[in-house]
A and B are shown apart, each in its own frame.
Chain A
Amino acid sequence: MRPGMTLSLTVLALGLAAPAPAEDLKIGLATAQTGALAPYDQPSLAGFQMRVDEINAAGGIAGKYPIKLIAKDTRSDAAQTALVAQELVDEGVQIVITPCDADPSIAAGMVTQAAGIPAFSFCATTPTLPLAVGDYMFGNYPADNVQAAMLAEYAIGQGYKTAYILTSPDTAYTLKLPKYFGEAFTAKGGTLLGEGTYAMGQQDFSAEVTKIAAMNPKPDVIMTAAYEPDFPALMRQLRGAGVTTPVLGSDGIDSPTTFAMGGLVEGVVFSTAGFATEGSPLAAFNAKYKAKTGEEPNTVYIANGYDLGTVIDAAVTKAGSLDPKAIRDAIASLTDVQGVTGAISYAGTKGMPLRSVALVRITGGKRELVKQGVPAPADVPAP
């Protein structure tokens, strides 16, 4: 691995050339440029960078605090993330951004919590993340239990009585989200017929699929948080074995790969962080992104990273100072910040933002909005 090279390239790319006046807001990015989390952290950073550039072009937050980004590669390694977070804290940053996964975010959070510096995870969805770290840790994505509640509500609404969940103990996301779904589904009167497991990345579901095909009675619906490469392999093998049971998924499958699968994924419904209806802020953002980079945004993590810039802008404006404690208190009291993916609130939460979840149905290789909104708090399973 040549992290040094990548790192310096990245730092160059971020354009940190201008010498910082005293009133800069310094944001440290302890996120992954390389390794297994790069597919999530890189697009998040691209969106975030775009928002920061806009804020700086307008003279900084509230016209007086330009943002200075300091990015260091974590190589998707939890120990390296903690190390990098410590380096950033030593450099005097006022906010730290951590990777799209709970484990390295907790590792970094241990450092930032102790230093009294607010930290956001780009897109970790584990609702226990802020609880594990403390009151200086925040999420930036609809939590697993919120997505699960939306999916369960939809499943009940469709008249599904029985469900089968497919989990992988390899990550908190693939394990807990289907389990939250099971809880919410049972709470609303559904029955869980069973739970299958798979190992991530092996893309062999043949044994599991043979078991599902032999189930009697068959479940009304199968729910899983598997994402690629597992999800496409699962769908191929499931439909190949003649199982036509409807499948529910989560935001991990919101990717061009899924939509390139044709008839195999027809009718799959999944939860995600936003939906670009015509005239919506997200559609405007997507157009702006395309005009700037020449490419369609291929994941919602870009818009989500962009929204984090808006959240920080709102928090620092509200705090009226660069004191990390004042910023933390301001974040915790934010309500209805208008992001491109919808309204974002932190007030009254334990660190995971309240923000809308979109349910999307795949029809003819296109996305079709089923529902968008926030589930009733009573329906959301406890983290």
Chain B
Amino acid sequence: MDIFLQQLLNALSLGGTYALLALGLAVVFSIIGLINFAHGELMTTAGYVMAFALAAALPFPLAIILAVAAPVLLAVVMERVAFRPVRGASGTTLLLTSFAVSAILRVLFQNFISARPVPVPMPAALSGVINIGPLHLGIIQSISIATTALMLAGLTLFLNRTVAGRAMRAAAEDFAIVRLMGLRANGVVATAFAISGLLAGVAGLLWVAQRGSVDPLMGFLPVLKAFIAAIIGGLGSLTGAVAGGFLLGFIEVMLQAWLPEAWLPYRDAVAIMLVIAVLLFRPQGLLARKTVLKL
């Protein structure tokens, strides 16, 4: 029983990171119908800024602020330079554009920073562990769970209580009507990218805290996971992305824990099969939006 509870805690922590990432993808997708595969490079950027800030001996809180601000800025620039010119183009065009942005950034990281991983020496205090009865919870894991909860609560407040947030929700329903109401499309889209950059920055820092280094290709795998999570949850649905993230984390941890030894190398295949099974019963994802996307 203890072991099960421990694994549940593990699943919560992993799922939380997936949820943050999937949410970042979903925020942008819900507005302009783009799956931004360069989301991972936003995470990588957060990692590099953190590494350089710590190497420059900046105070830890300032390093965190810079590391989260950088991907926000990069996301907005990305939108302005790469995605605005193709806004409204077919899904394929958008997807390929995001692949191109991602590939260009990775090659730039490899050739102008370093192909080798750059260490990110996190304070030793973060390596500690909290014991709750028989359960162990790493400090990074707990921060990860707490941050996810905080980000989700903050985003919910933003979307429900502010004009910009309402405009974003409305834009997700029907962009054309929002523009007819006199809201500037560019502003709404830029806000969506800024939020996705913020989510990527936070998730990137949590990711880097676990691994202790940042390398140019770091962003690919988490975005793949986030993509899967967003699909299970129902593309374009924000709550769905969160649910999908937690479900994927739960499936992965539980399979790793309870699959027979001989099956373990196939864990990811089994996990993906379960995802396909979910989609067979709910082709639109768990919490798909009822409206059809207009863009």
Contacts and interface: CB of A to CB of B under 8 A. Distances in A.
Nearest to B252: A204
- Max chain A CB contacts within 10 Å: which of B103, B210, B253? B210
Contact of B3 (A39, A42, A214, A229): A214
B165 interface: no
A229 B267 contact: no
Interface string A295-322: 0001100000000000000000000000
B213 A228 contact: yes
A262 B14 contact: no
A6 B107 contact: yes
A35 B110 CA distance: 8
B10 A240 contact: no
A214 B215 CA distance: 33
Interface in A185-214: 194-197, 199, 201-204, 206-208, 210-211, 213-214
Interface string B209-239: 0111101111001000000000000000000
Contact of B117 (A207, A211, A237, A255): A255
Interface in A109-158: none
A257 interface: yes
A34 B110 contact: yes
Given A195-B261, A214-B3, A240-B136, A299 B116 contact: yes
A364 interface: no
Interface string B122-146: 0010011100000010111100000
B253 A204 contact: yes
A256 B128 CA distance: 21
Interface residues of B, number: 47
Contacts of A236: 127, 138, 140, 210, 212
Contacts of A214: 3
Interface residues on A, range: 35 or more
Given A204-B253, A260-B119, A233 B138 contact: no
A199 B268 contact: yes
A9 B111 CA distance: 10
Nearest to A75: B107
A258 to B, nearest CB: 8
Contacts of A261: 121, 212
A36 B117 CA distance: 11
A366 to B, nearest CB: 15
Interface string A306-345: 0000000000000000000000000000000000000000
B212 A260 contact: yes
Interface in A204-235: 204, 206-208, 210-211, 213-214, 228-229, 232-233
A348 interface: no
Given A210-B7, A255-B117, A263 B127 contact: yes
A207 B212 contact: no
B256 A207 contact: yes
Contact of A39 (B103, B215, B252): B215
A159 interface: no
A43 interface: yes
- Max chain A CB contacts within 10 Å: which of B124, B257, B264, B268? B264
A292 interface: no
A237 B138 contact: yes
A197 B207 CA distance: 21
A34 B216 CA distance: 10
A206 B13 contact: yes
A242 B7 contact: no
A282 B293 CA distance: 62
A350 interface: no
Interface in B189-216: 207, 210-213, 215-216
Contacts of B127: 236, 239-240, 262-264
Contact of A1 (B3, B103, B117, B207): B103
A239 B141 CA distance: 13
A206 B213 CA distance: 19
Contacts of B140: 236
B186 interface: no
A197 B265 contact: yes
A152 B233 CA distance: 47
Interface string B90-131: 000000000000011011001100011101110010011100
15 contacts: A6-B107, A6-B111, A39-B215, A195-B261, A203-B207, A204-B10, A207-B257, A214-B3, A233-B211, A236-B138, A239-B129, A241-B129, A255-B119, A259-B119, A260-B213
Given A6-B111, A197-B265, 19 more contacts: A2-B107, A33-B111, A34-B111, A36-B217, A39-B116, A43-B115, A201-B221, A202-B252, A203-B211, A206-B10, A207-B7, A207-B257, A229-B215, A236-B210, A237-B138, A237-B210, A241-B129, A260-B212, A263-B124
Interface of A: 1-2, 6, 9, 33-36, 38-39, 42-43, 169, 194-197, 199, 201-204, 206-208, 210-211, 213-214, 228-229, 232-233, 236-237, 239-242, 255-257, 259-264, 298-299
5 smallest CB-CB distances across A and B, nearest first, come from A206-B10, A229-B211, A207-B256, A232-B212, A257-B213
